[in-house]
Chain A
Amino acid sequence: MEHESLRDKLELMDLNQVDGLQWDKERAWTRLNGQLQSTNPKKDITWYSGIAASLVFLILSLSGYIMLNHFGSSKRDGGFYKKQLSSNSITIKEQVCAEECESTEPYNIPEEPLKKALYTAPVFARTIHDTPKQDSTVVVSPNIAQKAKPIYENPSEQGVDFNRSEVKEVAEDIYITKETIAERSYRTEGILSSTPLARKKYKFPIKLFQRKNKSRSSSDKSIPALTLFASK
Chain B
Amino acid sequence: MDYKELIKRCKKRDPEAQKSLYNQLSVPIYKVCIRYFDNEFDAEDTLISGLYKFFHNIDKFEYNNEAKLFGWVKRIVVNEALMLIRSRTNFNMVGSDNAQNMSSDISPLGDLHAQDLLKMIRELPVGYRTVFNLHVIEGYNHVEIGEMLEIKTNTSKSQLHKAKAILKKRINKNSQYYGT
On A, residues with C-beta under 8 Å from B are 1-7, 9-15, 17-19, 21-23, 25, 28-29, 31-33, 35-37, 39-41
CA–CA, A37 and B40, complex, Å: 24
CA–CA, A6 and B118, complex, Å: 10
Q: Mark B72-115, 1 if CB is under 8 A from A, else 0.
A: 00000000000000000000000000000000001101100011
CA–CA, A4 and B135, complex, Å: 11
Q: What is the CB-to-nearest-CB distance from A217 to chain B, in angstroms, rounded to a whole number?
A: 44
Task: List which B12-60 residues lie within 8 A (CB) of chain A.
Answer: 13, 15, 18-19, 22, 26-28, 30-31, 34-35, 40, 43-44, 47-48, 51-52, 55-56
CA–CA, A17 and B31, complex, Å: 12
Once the chains bind, are A23 and B13 in contact (CB under 8 Å)? Answer: no
A10: which of B13, B48, B118, B139 is its contact (CB, 8 Å)?
B118
Once the chains bind, are B22 and A10 in contact (CB under 8 Å)? Answer: no
Once the chains bind, are A18 and B119 in contact (CB under 8 Å)? Answer: yes
Once the chains bind, are A15 and B27 in contact (CB under 8 Å)? Answer: yes
CA–CA, A33 and B137, complex, Å: 30
CA–CA, A154 and B171, complex, Å: 85
Q: What is the CB-to-nearest-CB distance from B52 to chain A, in angstroms, rounded to a whole number?
A: 5
Q: What residues of chain A lie closer than 8 Å to B135, measured between beta carbons?
A: 3
Question: A interface, by DSSP: helix, strand, loop or mixed?
Answer: helix
Do A23 and B40 contact each other (CB < 8 Å), given the known contacts A13-B115, A29-B26?
Answer: yes
CA–CA, A25 and B47, complex, Å: 11
Q: How many A-B contacts if CB must be within 8 Å?
A: 91
Q: What residues of chain A lie closer than 8 Å to B28, measured between beta carbons?
A: 11
Interface residues on B, range: 35 or more
CA–CA, A3 and B26, complex, Å: 22
Q: What residues of chain B lie closer than 8 Å to A21, measured between beta carbons?
A: 34, 40
Beta-carbon nearest neighbor of B136 in chain A:
A3
Q: What is the CB-to-nearest-CB distance from A102 to chain B, in angstroms, rounded to a whole number?
A: 67
Q: Does B138 contact A (CB under 8 A)?
A: yes
Q: List 5 A-B contacts (CB under 8 A).
A: A3-B136, A3-B138, A10-B35, A23-B34, A32-B51
Q: What is the CB-to-nearest-CB distance from B119 to chain A, in angstroms, rounded to a whole number?
A: 7
B118: which of A1, A4, A18, A36 is its contact (CB, 8 Å)?
A18
Once the chains bind, are A28 and B26 in contact (CB under 8 Å)? Answer: yes
Q: What residues of chain A lie closer than 8 Å to B56, measured between beta carbons?
A: 36, 39
Q: Does B117 contact A (CB under 8 A)?
A: yes
Do A22 and B40 contact each other (CB < 8 Å), given the known contacts A1-B139, A6-B137?
Answer: yes
Residue among A10, A21, A22, A41 with max Cβ neighbours from chain B (10 Å)? A10
Once the chains bind, are B115 and A23 in contact (CB under 8 Å)? Answer: no
A33: which of B18, B35, B107 is its contact (CB, 8 Å)?
B18
Beta-carbon nearest neighbor of B119 in chain A:
A19
Q: What residues of chain B lie closer than 8 Å to A11, measured between beta carbons?
A: 28, 31
Do A3 and B31 contact each other (CB < 8 Å), given the known contacts A19-B115, A22-B40, A41-B13?
Answer: no
CA–CA, A200 and B80, complex, Å: 69
Q: What is the CB-to-nearest-CB distance from B36 to chain A, in angstroms, rounded to a whole number?
A: 12
Once the chains bind, are B137 and A3 in contact (CB under 8 Å)? Answer: yes
